[in-house]
Amino acid sequence: MSRKISAYWLCQIGGWSSLIIIYTFFYLSLGLRREPHFFQTLVIDALTGLAVTHLMRFLIIKINFLKYTLERQIIYILITTLGFSLMYSFLCVYLEDAFQITPSKLEKYGLLDRTIITSIGNFLFLIIWNLIYFTYHYVVKSRQEQLDKIQLQSVVKELELKTIKAHINPHFIFNALNSIRALVDENPQRARQAITELSNILRSSMQAEKVETAPLSRELNIVKDYLALEHIRFEDRLQVEFDIKENTLTQPVPPMMLQTLVENAIKHGISKKIEGGIIRIISHFKDNQHQLIVKNTGHLNGSYNPYGFGLYSTESRLKLLYGEKARFEIRNNSDNMVEAIVTMPATI
């Protein structure tokens, strides 16, 4: 079975063959002084150049120049090119003497002088070869790093979203089902509505992994269904207030993020107080950025873990989607409430 020639050898053979063709073209077309052994010398120089550059490539791979800083790479390339240009020149001069095909204009010089003279031109050849070689590998390495980074981010995002989907609080589902069971006889119509609300939440969680962002309006609908179910359990202990600027409804937000923050507020705030409390959801623009705020009655203290799954996943997803352009913080405010603040780039 035939083996495919690598790109490296195609470039090597093509490059040195092109050198022979170019030199031959200028030699024949410009009417230069005829050299009796011009073609023999040219072929030997090209074959020697191919062998020397291949040896130089072996050394570059062995030492792995690409792992060093750019400054050190430049130094190593210059030193390597200088050394191999002297080797290249010496081999060419030696072979020309061995085959007795020394160019007439260099016959008066000795072996050492001819090596030094020809090494100047050969240095230029090899530095061009190295520039092409390193540029190619820089481009390949850069593209591979970008591809690896994108793939890694994609995997991380997928895992984050799948984890979030799997983390839909099982206690909430059990509580919702118990509440619905209690309503079946007492208020069948409300029970049917509650089943619809629960199915909407579960459907949204299943779809969360398919998209990176969703319109705020859709996320608000999920939160309203969630709060409606929680209101069955908490009744008058749970009060909800919305302060949503209409021009923010189309803003993209990470799916299920707002629901996670609201769930966190109920779990660590409202449910801890006998008298219950308020959940206040705010969405507005501030300093040309979209700001989402979830406030709840309560107070941050030592028993509260600000780095639980819900908040950690929120912060991680914001970093993955927006990098340093997004911020997340949770704090006590002057109204004796805890507020979770998400600041994201606005799409206007």
pLDDT in tens, 43-91: 988 999 999 999 999 998 888 887 788 788 888 889 999 999 999 989 9
Residues with Cβ within 8 Å of 281's Cβ and at least 6 positions away in sequence, in order, are: 220, 223, 240, 241, 242, 243, 244, 258, 262, 292, 293, 294, 295
What letters, b where the CB count within 10 A reaches 16 and e where it falls short, cover 206-222?
eebbeeeebebeebbeb
- Per-residue pLDDT, averaged over 311-315, amounts to 77
- Between residues 169 and 5, which one has the greater pLDDT? 5
Task: Output the pLDDT for position 344.
Answer: 93
Q: Does 4 have pLDDT greater than 70?
A: no
Q: Can you point out the beta strands (E) in 220-319?
A: 238-244, 252-253, 277-286, 289-297
Instruction: Give residue-wise pLDDT tens across range 212-240.
Output: 788 999 999 989 988 988 888 888 899 99
Identify the CATH homologous superfamily for domain 167-345.
Answer: Histidine kinase-like ATPase, C-terminal domain (3.30.565.10)
Query: Which range scores top for mean pLDDT: 1-10, 76-85, 204-213?
Result: 76-85
Q: Hey, is 116 helix, strand or coil?
A: helix
pLDDT for 1: 41
Is pLDDT larger for residue 207 or for residue 246?
Answer: 246
How many other CB atoms are found less than 10 A from the CB of residue 93? Answer: 23
Q: Which of 21-30, 99-108, 138-147, 250-259 has the lowest mean pLDDT?
A: 99-108
Q: Region 326-344: what's the mean pLDDT?
A: 89
Measure the CA–CA gap between 342 and 318, rounded to whole angstroms: 9
Lowest average pLDDT, out of 125-129, 139-143, 162-166, goes to: 162-166
| pLDDT at res. 161 | 58
For 214, phi then psi, to 5°, come to: -145, 155
- Model confidence band, residue 302 (pLDDT cutoffs 50, 70, 90): low
Which range among 13-22, 140-149, 232-241, 245-254 shows the weakest confidence by mean pLDDT? Answer: 140-149
Give whichever of 1-10, 99-108, 127-136, 302-311 has the largest mean pLDDT.
127-136
The C-alpha atoms of residue 237 and residue 345 are separated, in whole angstroms, by: 35
Higher pLDDT, 152 or 68: 68
Averaged pLDDT for residues 319-328: 86
The answer to whether 145 and 112 have CB atoms below 8 angstroms apart is no
pLDDT for the residue 115: 85
- Compute the mean pLDDT over every residue in the chain, rounded to the nearest whole number: 83
Q: In terms of pLDDT, which residue wins out, 181 or 291? A: 291
Domain boundaries, the chain: 7-160, 167-345
Tokens coding 228: 């409606």
Whether 249 contacts 215, CB under 8 Å: yes
In this prediction, residue 347 carries a pLDDT of: 83
Place of tokens 């919702």: 176
Q: What is the mean pLDDT of residues 323-327?
A: 88
